[in-house]
Amino acid sequence: MALSGGTYLVLILSVLSAEFLLKFWTERLNLRRLSPRLPVEFEGVYDAEKYARSQGYLRETASFDSIASAFSLAFAFVFILAGGFNLMDAAARSFGAGPIATGLIFSFLLKLLLDLAELPFEIYDTFVIEEKYGFNRTAPRTFILDLLREWTLAAVLGAPALAAVLWLFGARGPQAWVTVWAFITVLHLFLSFVSPALFLPLFNRFTPLPDGPLKTSIAGYASAQGFRMAGVFVMDGSRRTTKANAFFTGFGRFRRIVLFDTLIEKFTVNELTSVLAHEMGHYKKRHALYFTALGAAQTGLMLWLLSFFIGNPGLSAAFRMEHVSVYASLVFFGFLYSPLSFFLSIVSNWLSRRGELEADSYSVSTFPAPGALSSALKKLAADNFSNLTPHPLKVFLEYGHPPVLERLRAINP
């Protein structure tokens, strides 16, 4: 039996409230775990003043995130109950365009509204909190250019992709989900291949690692492991933050390992090579392929479920809509899918944490420099003010990486 608009409305508002309360309660538990007592593994890495400062940062960011989440919840409630989606739909329809163009206008207006609502929080986070604790290096000009680049990519890539999805569902109805799944999967694979060369350079500058002891160490290690790559690149992460990081990206001839310049500034050659060995471990253990397959499977599941709600009048009525449309159904289904998405993220995060431990193990077994990876992990945690003692529930629900103490104990049993 089809559900009424009122039933859908109660269900959606209940889901939004439950997610907020769960995250708020988890954050409170997490903050209670903070202790001024420094774990023994970090003695000599932190001094008392820096450790107290790191905990102040964690408390302030947690409180700020809770305020931002409360605002988002209140905004969603008001927008839904006041018929905000219908007002946007009326504005989009006022142009008299066809269903695909109207859907693109509707999506543009919705993204614009959400971005404007989130903008004050992004500004405060970047230029107040991150600045206060010495992390921010983002100039206002860079911040604005990043927003413009994001919108440009949304227009160049997102709009045509959305238009294709709307056309497929409009032409073939709910049974189009298989075709849409194939389209999205192929598009994702294509972007994974070309993104390192075409899109990432829009936001950061990537330069080949210069000749020197670090390049010699990395080249020797990669050769010993039979690992081919487009190269090791240095990213100007210092344009935006003092935090350090490294990552593996791309496939095939676009495959590369990227080191933040802030990482190179603070770490020894052995520490950096051990970090690269960790990233190489992800490749050797085929983590990228596994997560690509998992992502494709989750997308297929989502689209199959979506096929039951395309053009659902009860769901549209819950959002006070006067007209039923494919494009609005895509948005509204996201609210219903949220609990399942949250559960799947827990599974995905658990697999990701396992993968990180496997990559750590690969690093210490193939680049056995005494204590190099342990030292690198400690420096990363200290420099980034990572939470050394997160609550297990917080880890279970949200962490894609194991807590640093768990990683240290795993490689130093």
Identify the band that residue 244 occupies on the pLDDT scale cut at 50, 70 and 90.
Answer: confident
pLDDT tens-place string over residues 21-74: 999 999 999 999 998 889 988 988 888 889 999 999 999 999 999 999 999 999
Q: How much is the pLDDT for 406? A: 95
Tell me the percentage of the chain whose pLDDT exceeds 90. Answer: 63
Q: What pLDDT, in 10s, does the model give residues 281-313?
A: 888 888 888 998 999 999 999 999 999 999 899
- CA-to-CA distance for 405 and 79, rounded, in angstroms? 43
3-state SS assignment for residue 136:
strand
Residue ranges with strand state E in 84-193? none
pTM, full prediction: 0.88
Model confidence at 1, in pLDDT bands (50, 70, 90)? very low
- Looking at beta carbons, which pairs linking 292-301 to residues 24 or more positions away fall under 8 Å? 292/188, 292/189, 292/192, 294/348, 294/351, 295/188, 296/181, 296/185, 296/188, 298/344, 298/348, 299/181, 299/184, 299/185, 299/188, 300/181
Domain boundaries, the chain: 5-136+286-411
Give residue 396's identity as a one-letter amino acid code: F
pLDDT at 413: 63
Interatomic CA distance for residues 377 and 408, integer angstroms: 8
